[in-house]
Amino acid sequence: MKRPANADGGWGKDWLPGRLGTGPKVVRDNGASNGSRTSYGLDVPEAMPDAGGSGGWVWRGLRAGPSVVRRDGAHRGTPVVSSLAVAVVQLTGSRFAGMHQTGRTPLDAVGWLLLMAGPVFLVLRHRVPALVVHAVAAVSLAYFTLGYPYGPFVLSFVVAFASAVFRGRRRHAWIAAGAAYLGALVVRQWLYPWLPPPGDTAPGWGMEYGVAAWLLVIAAGTELLKVRREQFERARRERAEAERRRADEERLRIARELHDVIAHSLSVINVQAGVGLALIDERPEQARTALTTIKAASKEALGEVRQVLATLRAPGAAPRAPAPGLDRLPELLQQARTAGLRAEVEVTGTAPGLPPNTDLAAFRIVQEALTNIVRHSRSRTARIGIHHEPGVLRLRIDDEGPAASQDESDGGNGLVGMRERAAALGGTVQAGTRADGGFRVTATLPVSPDPAPPAGQPDGPTRPDPDLDPPNRDKGARIPPATSGGRSAAATGPRPAGAGPGPVPGEGIDGNEDRGEDGEEERG
């Protein structure tokens, strides 16, 4: 068997498997690698051959057994306590068994040494299980060959066999068991006249069959325990993965909620602050109005943030205030008006009672779309379409103006958050420039009390918007159109539930005077 030489051609110590953290590059079972092969927790040099001729698999099995580093990366201590327990059982059991077996060789120093050797080898069974199972099999066979009393001397081999099977060294375990059984068979049936104790006779073959049956029972029990252990570990990993996935989903939900709560109010505050700075000297009354708007927007944002934090701090408790929905659309239009944006709403179809999650997602999508118009567009008009269909809620938000100089691609999360909200319900969001100019956001949300399907599998009809410019459809950034479409539709407000198609008098207003002289520059 040829061992690898070190880099300088000599036989240094770096090749030894037991030198953890030294020598050439190594890899561990958890997948972290710095250049060499898996070693079941041992640091194995990259120079060590895989199969250098006959017997190469034996060398790999002996030096590359699972060890103190498990596949999940957790460290395991040396099994001293269990090995000590095996030693106590073997020593005391064999001592008492020998008192009633007068025909066997009495225990002497060699016998006690062989009884202790097995538990000593078991201390290393986590590091080199294949080597341990072969060594313990040899020790047990030597004890039996020298004619010492029968007893629990095979306990060490049973533990070593199970440890090797548990750590993926089944072939070595079976080879060791088969070799020990054949050796004992040869001793009992043919070599006994020349071995101690004197005067021993050959047992019947029925005893040999019984021993073989016991070996099969031990092997089957070990395999069953291995399967159950793997099932337990798999279930534990799946539970841990599910917990991590729930934590990630909750973190994304909180991030979306805080973004939607804060971004809209900050956009209004930003615009009104620019108006106030521009008019504070020439028209202080209008500047005062802008400051009043800033105060109201900041107060509302603080209230919503406190509501989110209160919900997070009370595990399992219901929110103290209902989640916002489309019934708060008039407040949203009022905020858009204070930012200088004329909002027009049209509702078609019969409005059913929306599930809370769908109602919240629809409100947040409209809110984020209006926020993006204020921040990234020079449009002073926005049109909101709410279409109720059987099992589906469709939203459409349009603006007519070209994009400002700074688009949403500069680190924005608005469209990403909208798509995540829709995907969580099994819906979709499309966004892009229209073929006739302007920008459009469309959303399709299922209206069903059933659990949402997995993300990416919409529940309900989903069709691309034919009015979106195909090259720009579903892009995350606002793209300046080549032309601007004209403004249309009278100002409308949210339609009451059950109302038919057609305009509804409402919240649309002309916000030109609220934008101030440099309102467009502030949003650019």
Per-residue pLDDT tens over the stretch 371-419:
888 877 878 889 999 999 988 999 999 987 665 544 444 445 678 888 8
Give 252-275 pLDDT, tens digit per residue: 777 777 777 777 677 778 777 887
Contact 469, 433 (CB under 8 A): yes
Q: pLDDT-based confidence at 126, cuts 50/70/90?
A: very high
Q: Is the pLDDT of residue 486 over 50?
A: no
- CATH class of residue range 328-523: alpha beta
Pairing of strands 439-446, 428-433: antiparallel
Whether the per-residue pLDDT at 455 is higher than 80: the answer is no
Q: What is the pLDDT of residue 85?
A: 94
> Whole-prediction pTM value?
0.43
> How confident is the model at residue 468, as a pLDDT?
63
**413: nearest Cα among 257, 521, 269, 305:** 257
Query: Which pLDDT band, with edges at 50, 70 and 90, does 325 fall under?
Result: confident
Check whether 196 has a pLDDT greater than 60.
Answer: yes
As a whole number, the mean pLDDT across the chain is 71
Is the pLDDT confidence value at 518 over 50? no
**Does 368 or 132 have the greater pLDDT score?**
132
Average pLDDT over residues 144-162: 91
Kindly state the percentage of the chain with pLDDT values over 90: 22
Cβ contact 104:97 at 8 Å? no
Query: Looking at the predicted structure, is the pLDDT value of residue 214 above 50?
Result: yes
| pLDDT, average across residues 461-470 | 56
Judge contact between 509 and 339, C-beta under 8 A: no
E strand or H helix that includes residue 222: helix 205-279
Cα distance between residue 183 and residue 42, in whole Å: 32
Longest CA–CA span in the chain (Å) reads 124
377 three-class SS:
strand
Average pLDDT on 488-505 reads 36
Let me know: does 386 contact 326? Beta carbons within 8 Å. Answer: yes
Output the six-digit token pair for 374. 């204020």
Give pairs for 108-111: CB < 8 Å, separation 24+: 110/146, 111/143, 111/146, 111/148
- Whether the CB-CB separation of 321 and 300 falls below 8 Å is answered with no
Of 84-88, 294-298, 465-469, minimum mean pLDDT range: 465-469
Convert 455-493 to b/e letters by CB count within 10 Å (16 or more is b). Answer: eeebbbeeeebebbbeebbebeebbbbeebeeeeeebbb
DSSP string across 147-193: TPPPSGGGHHHHHHHHHHHHTT-HHHHHHHHHHHHHHHHHIIIIIGG
